[in-house]
Amino acid sequence: MSGHSKWATTKHKKAVIDAKRGKLFAKLIKNVEVAARTGGGDPDGNPTLYDAIQKAKKNSVPLDNIERARKRGAGEEAGAADWQTVMYEGYAPGGVALLIECLTDNRNRAASDVRVAVTRNGGSMADAGSVSYLFNRKGVVVVPKEGTTEDDVTLAALEAGAEDINDLGEAYEVISEPTDLVAVRTALQDAGIDYESAESSFVPTMEVPVDEENARKVIRIVDALEDADDVQNVFSNADISDEIMAKID
């Protein structure tokens, strides 16, 4: 994950700003509703729902909003939307691969919004399968550095099946197989280590170094995509160095 830390930290800070605008809140609430619909409304018996609720709480989503979303998803309350997960693939300048995960109740709108965000900012859409092979589905737990050490995180996580620990600057990123995600998260909790988020994610198998000009273009595309209501996550294999990220900041 060389050079990843500065960008990851910047994206985390941006998420705080997004939350104030309500963008992040809407996406987190949608995650809760879908998790409850897919695996049931009991967080104790549905780890995906548990993690979705915890992430929403940690990002200051009001508890009433979280509970209503859980009830809608579980069928305990009316008003649930027919959310569908749709993946789109594309390229940003510099040969950077983009994997775009949408959660939408209108596929046509989602496809249009994604295409506009990518093409208007210098990127291009790609056929299904032409980009996704560059990513592996992994379990990812993000642990704030405050109050813990890398040794503590490593000891707890590796015993539970974690594959790698990455330094993101202000946090540690614990990578595992998706099937080991709950075990890793639970092991960290049992060790008294607080975590920021735990979710299934897409991790690039190899990263593409980009210069300052292309880094700006990549970030512009990612920002445009994340502003789209239907886009839940944007994954890329861009490797933006700390030096270039500092210039962009």
Per-residue pLDDT of the chain (249 residues; tens, 9 = 90+): 333 444 555 555 555 455 555 788 899 999 999 999 999 999 999 999 999 999 999 888 999 999 999 999 999 988 888 899 999 999 999 999 999 999 999 999 999 999 999 999 999 999 999 999 999 999 999 999 988 999 999 999 999 999 999 888 888 999 999 999 999 999 999 999 999 889 999 999 999 999 999 999 999 999 899 889 999 999 999 988 878 888 887
Q: How many domains does the chain have?
A: 3
Q: Are 195 and 188 in contact (CB under 8 A)?
A: yes
DSSP annotation of 187:
H
Do 231 and 215 share a structural domain? yes
Do 12 and 66 share a structural domain? yes
Is there a domain that residue 228 lies in? yes
- What distance lies between CA 144 and its chain's CA centroid? 16
- The pLDDT score that the predictor gives to residue 7 is 56
Q: Are 82 and 107 in contact (CB under 8 A)?
A: no
Taking the C-alpha atoms of residue 31 and residue 174, their distance in angstroms, rounded to an integer, is 21
Range of the domain at 22: 5-74
- The pLDDT score that the predictor gives to residue 147 is 87
Do 120 and 32 share a structural domain? no
Is there a domain that residue 19 lies in? yes
Do 62 and 91 share a structural domain? no
Is there a domain that residue 169 lies in? yes
Do 231 and 113 share a structural domain? yes
